[in-house]
A and B are shown apart, each in its own frame.
Chain A
């Protein structure tokens, strides 16, 4: 598809959606993968860098225990995934977010480890957080085989049969990770050390490569074990099924504070997403081919949503509503007419936006962005942010109050004295060293709560600032009252980065952490969100993505909303 990106077909006059619309948890919790997501960017980069992915070492026995190394060769460097497969008893495999033993442990490593390094890795990877890791390691991860599918697929392949499309689609992965650590955790390399690196200097790039290589390994492993088990009778997994397998991930509260603690980064991600959307809304006209492509993506989204099955009642209801909305759009004879109007995508969205739910609005936005990567290549390459440690000077009391009035209206409207608005608190768990939620009136530990009561802090700040001279500098306020420094820093950051603040009370009864998780995971490129409570979810990464031997293909990155033809 060639898009006419000349000035005549674009005006860039469409404003982007304001933070008051976008930064609400229910909308953030309805985001889907887009062309800007990190899994998509990884595939672009692997192709662009002409990387070569291959098995470097394979010491796995017939029962699937042993080690392996998968090598990714770039022009000037090698990154390798170090893999150890362990034997664990069925009762030790909790198959949940929180576990202490795993079927497989991994680390992305700079270069190929020597014998001594491999020996150390073999001792430390299997114990994950309890081990001591080294600065050549870029990530640390673990995974379990899916109990619902792994054995069944293995048996089928070993007797020369392909597993059913339904089975593959229902689960969507052979292995599921429960954590992929990066950025200096437990002694591994800091993200800041990748500064200037042509491939790694992008948020979560090392983590995404790790998951992509785990997916490749899981497919190679099942084919290997099937051959060992079935010998000549066995077959390898068909290409279309292999492509439909991603890597599962179970994600809990550990991920939630990231969006609160990294204001600059979250602003950058969401601002770029909204800017990309405004740019496609600025397209004056679409040729017939592109119109068909948009309709085709809506069809894809519809098929995807029909195959998206979850147990969670709330999400299940949302998916049902999404199905109905998409069906309505596709059956409307005006669809082609709308796409023939000036500013077709904006018109199409405006035509439906009041009649469709948030899930549908956001899936449409993913569809609209998809065909036009050349319109926002600059944004895709600029998803990182520099986080300032100091507070920008030049602000006084009056300025701070003005920013609060303009940008924190949402916080001022919350009655922070109500018990429902003080329902829970965030803390770090002694057991897992990860954030958890406590109930204020039930649980101990509130004195050690994390400072995520942003709305409350805003109100307290207003009360204090209103009593101070309006021309007093923010620096003077903070040096006299250091307890205000955190929130004043947030407010000043929000002035220039308005998408840096979630506009809900994060300790209120209505707050659903799952929305925070989904927002972040959508930027990773997750699909098939499968909430298990409002505190953790299963997802799939790289489902539908090209396999390593397809990376050279022209339309390699065209895999939004993966679905299988033969599954109803």
Chain B
């Protein structure tokens, strides 16, 4: 395991996703969500690497309309956009997502920044998570790492039933990640760098 900073998580994730031609804004959003997950003691690194691979193989989609069980919406890339869209257009979105984890990160971010109350439900309309008073609460009975058919909407009133929800707190400890996975991410990030030309070097202090 290796200790990493939040800044490193952001910058390496961002660049790694750019290396597989993921749009700037989606790469940035994903990097912010990775940072959020790390801050809240959730695994993120393997999912980032997997997302890059699935994206390259076209096994995930970034379309909110054309997602399927076999080609779900990438929550790592699209969660923030989807949440903003649902919030701005006041609609209920339903569809297949590859995992709930990054959607939860997006909900956590938007709850804090824009104080929007959102609710995420599964196919049976069980509550997976909701935001309230700038905080994210999750139902720990569900696995947030697997593909699901989900419903996402804003809400005014929520019936919590008899379920215990966990409030995800920020972790103050040092963030540790798998060193081999980290090295893979860094190698991908390296692909976005350019060899300096003579013209670039001239006058740049060499």
Beta-carbon contact of B204 and A476 below 8 Å: no
Give the residue of B24, B84, B88, B196 whose beta carbon is less than 8 angstroms from that of A430.
B196
A443 sits at the interface (CB 8 A): yes
CA distance A250 to B205 in the complex (A): 9
Most-contacted residue by chain B among A97, A189, A429, A536 (CB, 10 A) = A429
With A390-B84, A444-B194, A534-B203 as given contacts, are A184 and B26 in contact (CB-CB < 8 Å)?
no
Main secondary structure of the interface of A (DSSP, over half): loop
Over the window 37-67 of chain A, the binary record of Cβ atoms lying under 8 Å from chain B Cβ atoms (1 yes, 0 no) is 0000000000000000000000000000000
Q: A390 with B109: in contact, given A183-B7, A184-B6 (CB under 8 Å)?
A: yes
1/0 per residue, CB under 8 A from B, across A171-201: the answer is: 0000000000001111111111100000000
Contact B192 A135 (CB under 8 A): no
Known A390-B110, A483-B25: A475·B85 in contact at CB below 8 Å: yes
B194 x A428 contact (CB < 8 A): yes
Q: Is the CB of A486 within 8 A of B28?
A: yes
List B contacts of A438 (CB < 8 A): 194, 197, 199-200
Q: Tell me the complex Cα distance, A389–B10, Å.
A: 12
Determine the chain B residues whose CB is within 8 A of the CB of A442 once the complex forms: 197, 199
In the bound complex, residues from chain B placing their C-beta under 8 Å from that of A436 are 194, 196, 200, 204
In the assembled complex, which residues on chain B have CB atoms less than 8 Å from the CB atom of A479?
64, 78, 81-82, 84-85
Q: Assuming A98-B205, A486-B28, is B84 touching A478 (CB within 8 A)?
A: yes
Residues of A within 8 A of B84 (CB): 390-391, 393, 475, 478-479
Q: How far, in angstroms, from A536 to B204 measured CA to CA in the complex? A: 6
Question: How many B residues face the partner with a CB closer than 8 A?
Answer: 48
Query: How many A-B residue contacts, CB cutoff 8 Å?
Result: 160
Out of A96, A448, A489, which one reaches B206, CB within 8 Å?
Answer: A96
Tell me whether B194 and A427 are in contact (CB under 8 A): yes
Q: Which residues of A contact B28 (CB under 8 A)?
A: 486
- Let me know if A83 is at the binding interface, CB within 8 A: no
A392 / chain B contacts, CB cutoff of 8 Å: 114
Choose among A96, A135, A189, A478 the residue that contacts B81 (Cβ–Cβ < 8 A): A478
Known contacts A96-B206, A135-B3, A190-B6, A443 near B199 by CB under 8 Å: yes
Q: How far is the CA of A444 from the CA of B200 in the complex (A)?
A: 11
When chains A and B are docked, how far (Å) is the Cα of A478 from the Cα of B81? 7
Q: Contact mask A443-465 → B, CB, 8 Å, 1/0? A: 11100100100000000000000
Rounded to whole angstroms, the CA-CA distance of A71 and B65 in the bound complex is 60
Closest chain A residue to B87, Cβ basis: A393
Question: Which of B5, B78, B88 has a CB less than 8 Å from the CB of A188?
Answer: B5
Q: Are A476's CB and B6's CB within 8 A?
A: no
Contact A184 B113 (CB under 8 A): no
Choose one: B3, B64, B88; the contact of A134 (CB below 8 Å): B3
State how many residues of chain A have any CB contact under 8 Å with chain B. 60
User: Given the complex, which residues of A lie within 8 Å of B64, measured CB to CB?
Assistant: 479
Q: Which residues of chain B from 158 to 206 have any CB-CB distance to chain A below 8 Å in the complex?
A: 172, 174, 190, 192-197, 199-200, 203-206
Counting CB contacts under 8 A, is A565 at the interface?
Answer: no
Query: Which 9 residue pairs across A and B have the least CB separation, nearest first?
Result: A184-B7, A97-B205, A184-B5, A485-B25, A445-B194, A533-B203, A475-B88, A393-B88, A430-B193
The interface of chain B, by Cβ under 8 A from chain A, is: 2-8, 15, 23-26, 28-29, 32, 62, 64, 78, 80-85, 87-89, 106, 109-110, 113-114, 116, 172, 174, 190, 192-197, 199-200, 203-206
Residue pairs across A and B with Cβ atoms less than 8 A apart, 27 shown, are A135-B174, A186-B8, A250-B205, A252-B205, A389-B80, A389-B109, A390-B80, A390-B106, A390-B113, A393-B87, A431-B195, A436-B204, A438-B197, A438-B200, A439-B199, A444-B195, A445-B194, A448-B194, A473-B88, A475-B87, A476-B85, A476-B89, A479-B84, A483-B23, A486-B24, A532-B203, A536-B205
Given contacts A428-B194, A430-B194, 18 further A-B contacts (CB under 8 A): A98-B204, A187-B4, A252-B205, A253-B204, A390-B106, A393-B88, A427-B194, A428-B192, A429-B193, A429-B194, A436-B200, A438-B194, A443-B199, A448-B193, A476-B88, A479-B81, A482-B62, A485-B26
